[in-house]
Structure 1
Amino acid sequence: MELRDYLRIIRQQWLLIASCVLVAIAAASVFTLRATPQYQSTAALFISTPQSDGSAAYQGSLFSQQRVASYADLIKGKQIAQRVVDKLGLDESAGALASRVSASVVKDTVILNVTVQDSQPQRAQKLAEAIAQEFTVFVSELETTPGSENAPIKATIVDPATVPVSAVSPRPLSSLALAIGLGLIVGVGLAVLREMLDNTVKNTDTLREVSGAANLGSIFYDGKAAARPLVTQLDSHAPRAEAFRVLRTNLQFIDVDSDSKVFIMTSPLPGDGKSTTAVNLAITLAQAGQRTLLIEGDLRRPKTSEYLGLESKVGLTTVLIGKIDLDDVIQPWGDDGLHVISSGAIPPNPAELLQSRQMETVLDRLRRHYDVILIDAPPLLPVADAAVLARQADGAILVVRHGKTTKDQVVAAADRLHSVDAELLGTVFNRTPSKGNTGYGYGYGYGYAPSDDADILADASFTRSKRRAAPADSGQLPAAKPAPEMVAPAHDAVVGDHHIPSRSELGLDGDAAPSAPRAPRRTGQFEQVPTHLQESRDRTRRPQPPTEAASNAPAGPVDRDLQAAGPRGARTGRRSVGDFLSQDPGE
């Protein structure tokens, strides 16, 4: 692993690392609060020989340095501790006292420091002083040879023990720093271990590698998706809506030579978001003007009709068993021309119905009338329905959930498709985080949406009024009036409506015959129209008397179609779904 891999793991697993640090700090705080304060008192002894001449003093100094290392072990032994216990009348054993005594020798000197630790500062000072005094007597007794009155070496107290002012244990700051360090080490170690043991798909590179197919798009995680599952419930520049538009664009490059495409939307396991992805992709395709049909092919746990609020009792299963005609089960949804076939009653044998000859006939018939057909299929691994449908369609699009779907599940799903000679066209990475290494372009919708429409129109109206009020010699040109066809759209396209307006209906020929009144147009994005633009629109729509030349002019192909269809205002609306399906495909 490289350094950037560790940084990525720390960034992704920061919550685990922070939890470990907090636990370590909490443990250190509890230990500090519950620990009994300990005090230390130290006495210093000087080890020397009584010789006074030069050579003897030098030899005595070497002798003392050799002895002082041994004295450091003797002074913290049980024999000295027992003498102190007997002298002070303590109620503890010699071993307990010896465990709280420590000794050290100053390097290259004959100075011996003895330290005693106790919970009371005065008691620590008394114990250190008593141990130093008893050790001087012990050295004299130990070094005096039989028949001699004086010992060749002695220990002298040069720095008596004092009463300590502050406790040496616990130390809150030191304990806190130690806890933070240990917490970071443990947290980073656990994060790396978790990353190495984690088998889920967390980036597009891994997804492309294990699936063997291109990633068509990444759908952002939205915490409010459960309450607002459809893209029509979002702002047009929301990141999730923009992600589906990117997915729609990438989908156009699949099987570009085919006039009609049939895709199934599936996933390795339930809960990966295949149904919401299929619904929103179908809506986005219809918004782009493509003739789109969404089929609820999950005959075990149908969700599409629930999301769209459509009737699900009559649908695909009703057609497959021959109880109703295909024309009668297609339901229109929304204003963009999306058509939907719900699941119908849940059958006991979904796989047999989906692989029947009647299902092939239904798909062949629908291909002649739609540009894109999306089938929301069941998951691949639990049941065989999706594999059966994928073989009849042009291919499958696999929806993979970030951080939940494992690599083995993606491989197994791809193998399931390949085993029936079905093609995996691509993958959709669902519920990806808005920040990370799963792709790029996250957050594109944030801060890049246009300003408020009313503010734009108000600023434009103010600018045009200033230009009209500018003097002739100011060098400023008057504002150009917008073309009528740019101010008011001539018509609204609907699925199944092939009417092409003539120039007279558009109001572009002043000599043309007046057209029938237009139906009220749907509310658009910009509704606050400046006054002078509204006046220009009214002048453009005002009927003009026909001229003799225009009346005698031969009718073109488009005008003949208009005459056959009748005036636009006389049409009542869209044709029925049955008329749409019964028309000739080349129409």
Structure 2
Amino acid sequence: MELRDYFKVLRRRWISVVLIGALCATAAGAYTLLQSPVYASDARLFISTSESDAATAAAGGQFSAQRVKSYADLIGSRELANRVVTDLGIDADPGELANQVSAEVGVETVNLTLTVTDTDARRAQQIAQVYAEQLVDLVRELETPQGETNAPIKATIVDAASFSETPVSPKPVRNIGLGLLVGLLVGFALAVLRQMLDTRVSSPEDLADVTDAPTLGTIVQDPAGTRAPLLTQIEPHAPRAESFRVLRTNLQFVDVDTQHKVFAVSSALPGEGKTSTAVNLALSLAQGGGRTLLIECDLRRPKAASRLGLDEAIGVTSVLVGRVKAEDAVQVHEPSGLDFIAAGPIPPNPAELLQSNAMSELLDHVRDLYDVVILDAPPLLPVTDAALLAAKADGAMLVLNHGKVTRDQVQLSIERLEQVDAALVGLVFNRVPAKNKTYGYGYGYAPQESDQAVPARRREGWHRR
């Protein structure tokens, strides 16, 4: 990943990053509230020698500096803790009391500062003061040579134990700040990991390693699509209508040397919107004035006829078995002037029918009568029907559900087409969020000529000859 990729991840998943950061900050705040306040008391001692003449002063200073480190280590001894417990007359474990005390030697000095922490400020001061006094006595005992009364080195209390009612722990601001920082880092790391493991297709760049096929169009997500699934049911300048006009325009540049074209519209898996894409693309082509025929070739789960509100009884299967002629199976969608052949009765052997010579003859026949023939094919991965249809057509358009289909599924779908020598003419991204500027939907659409009046200029098809 490059630097700009990290910014893309942050822009795409910033909400989850912020939520994790807030969660960690909240957890840190809750942990802080559950902690008992801890107070600290400091006492400072000065370590010196009894030498008074200048000749031995330097040597005495070095000796004191060496000794002060040993005294700092004695702070954590059980012997000193026992003395403090006895002096204070408290019921405490010497080992636990020793853990409450720490010592620090000033840099290049003979000053020793001991610090005692406790949940009671006054008790912390008392323990610190007794610790300092007992350390002075212990140093005198240890440094006094046997048989003598004076020690060559001594510890002197310079600052008595301090008292403060301000707790040193916990620190709410620091803890919450650290929790927020750690949460943001963890959230961003998880976002990057999720992005690296996420193989779903969310932009044309995600397909760079899968296929070189062009993106013919992107269909913008419309919340009202379930109530008004057809182009004839929405405003002509709605973003979804504009999406299909762009797809219609781009389709004209596919195989420009061929006057009559047959395209299969399929997807990798069910539920990606291939039927709605095929139906609305056909409607847009018909509204644009071209002779257009939509054939419902999903003989397993046909939905196009019900979407258009047309009869499902007679259709492709009726023509393939010779019950009716193709001309008699054609219906007209009056609002748009689109010619349509339904799937007809669902057969027990859809793949065999679609692979038959009768299907090839049907496609050859309608190819000469229409500018564009759209085949609403089944999904590619569950069954072989779509690949068989694509091999008989001039190529296939693969509808990809934005943010749902994975790169592996797209790769397998393309391999299905390659296995039968079918051409992939392009990709169609479906249900793209309107705010996704990757596809250019971050601006308003300028009014264009409405397609509602165009069907009157259509060249005649079967039902108008």
TM-score category, normalised to shorter length: over 0.9
- Identity, % of aligned positions: 51
What SS is found at the alignment partner of 2:223? coil
Shift of residue 232, structure 1, vs aligned partner: 3.0
2:337/2:455 contact within 8 Å kept: no
- Greater mean deviation of Cα atoms: 163-172 or 224-233: 224-233
**Is 2:453 aligned against 1:444?**
no
Shift of residue 158, structure 1, vs aligned partner: 1.0
Shift of residue 139, structure 1, vs aligned partner: 0.6
1:379/1:386 contact within 8 Å kept: yes
> For residues 67 and 492 of structure 1, what CA distance do their matches in structure 2 show?
103
2:336/2:455 contact within 8 Å kept: no
Q: Which runs of 5+ in 1 are unaligned?
A: 451-488, 498-576
Higher relative contact order (CA 8 A, sep 6+): 2
**Is 2:275 aligned against 1:275?**
yes
* Match in the other structure for 2:417: 417
Does the C-alpha gap of structure 1 residues 70 and 214 become closer, same or farther in structure 2, counting only changes over 3 Å?
A: same
> For residues 170 and 236 of structure 1, what CA distance do their matches in structure 2 show?
64
2:41/2:128 contact within 8 Å kept: yes
2:299 maps to a residue whose letter is L
Shift of residue 370, structure 1, vs aligned partner: 1.4
What SS is found at the alignment partner of 1:295? strand
Does the C-alpha gap of structure 1 residues 164 and 224 become closer, same or farther in structure 2, counting only changes over 3 Å?
A: farther
Q: Could you list the per-position Cα deviations for residues 220-265 of structure 1 after superposition, in whole angstroms to 9, with x for gaps in the alignment?
A: 2333433332233333222222121111100001122222111000
TM-score normalised according to structure 2 size: 0.94
* Match in the other structure for 1:170: 170
1:318 maps to a residue whose letter is S
What SS is found at the alignment partner of 1:258? coil
Does the C-alpha gap of structure 1 residues 219 and 579 become closer, same or farther in structure 2, counting only changes over 3 Å?
A: closer
2:444 maps to a residue whose letter is G
**Is 2:456 aligned against 1:493?**
yes
- Greater mean deviation of Cα atoms: 31-40 or 321-330: 321-330
> For residues 274 and 209 of structure 1, what CA distance do their matches in structure 2 show?
23
Does the C-alpha gap of structure 1 residues 150 and 163 become closer, same or farther in structure 2, counting only changes over 3 Å?
A: same
Shift of residue 579, structure 1, vs aligned partner: 4.5
What SS is found at the alignment partner of 1:318? helix
Shift of residue 208, structure 1, vs aligned partner: 4.8
Shift of residue 70, structure 1, vs aligned partner: 1.3
2:207 maps to a residue whose letter is L
What SS is found at the alignment partner of 2:164? coil
* Match in the other structure for 2:116: 116
> For residues 230 and 127 of structure 1, what CA distance do their matches in structure 2 show?
83
What SS is found at the alignment partner of 2:430? strand
- Greater mean deviation of Cα atoms: 309-318 or 248-257: 309-318
Shift of residue 176, structure 1, vs aligned partner: 1.5
* Match in the other structure for 1:506: none
Shift of residue 215, structure 1, vs aligned partner: 1.2
Q: Equivalent residues in 2 for 1:338-349 (5 A)?
A: 338-349=338-349
Q: Equivalent residues in 2 for 1:533-552 (5 A)?
A: none
> For residues 143 and 108 of structure 2, what CA distance do their matches in structure 1 show?
22
* Match in the other structure for 1:107: 107
Aligned-pair Cα RMSD in Å: 2.1
> For residues 405 and 492 of structure 1, what CA distance do their matches in structure 2 show?
35
2:180 maps to a residue whose letter is I
Does the C-alpha gap of structure 1 residues 264 and 49 become closer, same or farther in structure 2, counting only changes over 3 Å?
A: same
* Match in the other structure for 1:319: 319
Q: Could you list the per-position Cα deviations for residues 371-393 of structure 1 after superposition, in whole angstroms to 9, with x for gaps in the alignment?
A: 11111101111100001111111
Shift of residue 365, structure 1, vs aligned partner: 2.0
Does the C-alpha gap of structure 1 residues 266 and 404 become closer, same or farther in structure 2, counting only changes over 3 Å?
A: same
* Match in the other structure for 1:484: none
**Is 2:335 aligned against 1:335?**
yes
1:222 maps to a residue whose letter is D
Q: Equivalent residues in 2 for 1:504-523 (5 A)?
A: none
Does the C-alpha gap of structure 1 residues 431 and 50 become closer, same or farther in structure 2, counting only changes over 3 Å?
A: same
Q: Could you list the per-position Cα deviations for residues 62-100 of structure 1 after superposition, in whole angstroms to 9, with x for gaps in the alignment?
A: 111111111111112222112111222222211111111
> For residues 66 and 148 of structure 1, what CA distance do their matches in structure 2 show?
22
2:441 maps to a residue whose letter is Y
* Match in the other structure for 1:191: 191
1:432/1:438 contact within 8 Å kept: no
Q: Equivalent residues in 2 for 1:221-300 (5 A)?
A: 221-300=221-300
1:239/1:443 contact within 8 Å kept: no
**Is 2:22 aligned against 1:59?**
no
Does the C-alpha gap of structure 1 residues 419 and 16 become closer, same or farther in structure 2, counting only changes over 3 Å?
A: same
Shift of residue 496, structure 1, vs aligned partner: 5.7
> For residues 165 and 248 of structure 1, what CA distance do their matches in structure 2 show?
77
2:54 maps to a residue whose letter is G
Shift of residue 150, structure 1, vs aligned partner: 0.8
Aligned residues: 462
* Match in the other structure for 1:391: 391
1:315/1:329 contact within 8 Å kept: yes
- Greater mean deviation of Cα atoms: 82-91 or 96-105: 82-91
What SS is found at the alignment partner of 1:375? strand
2:295/2:342 contact within 8 Å kept: yes
What SS is found at the alignment partner of 1:151? coil
Does the C-alpha gap of structure 1 residues 338 and 68 become closer, same or farther in structure 2, counting only changes over 3 Å?
A: same
1:25/1:180 contact within 8 Å kept: yes
Q: Could you list the per-position Cα deviations for residues 143-174 of structure 1 after superposition, in whole angstroms to 9, with x for gaps in the alignment?
A: 11101101111111111112212111111111
1:110 maps to a residue whose letter is V
**Is 2:70 aligned against 1:70?**
yes
> For residues 99 and 227 of structure 1, what CA distance do their matches in structure 2 show?
71
Shift of residue 436, structure 1, vs aligned partner: 4.7
What SS is found at the alignment partner of 2:262? strand
- Greater mean deviation of Cα atoms: 324-333 or 127-136: 324-333
> For residues 373 and 578 of structure 1, what CA distance do their matches in structure 2 show?
13
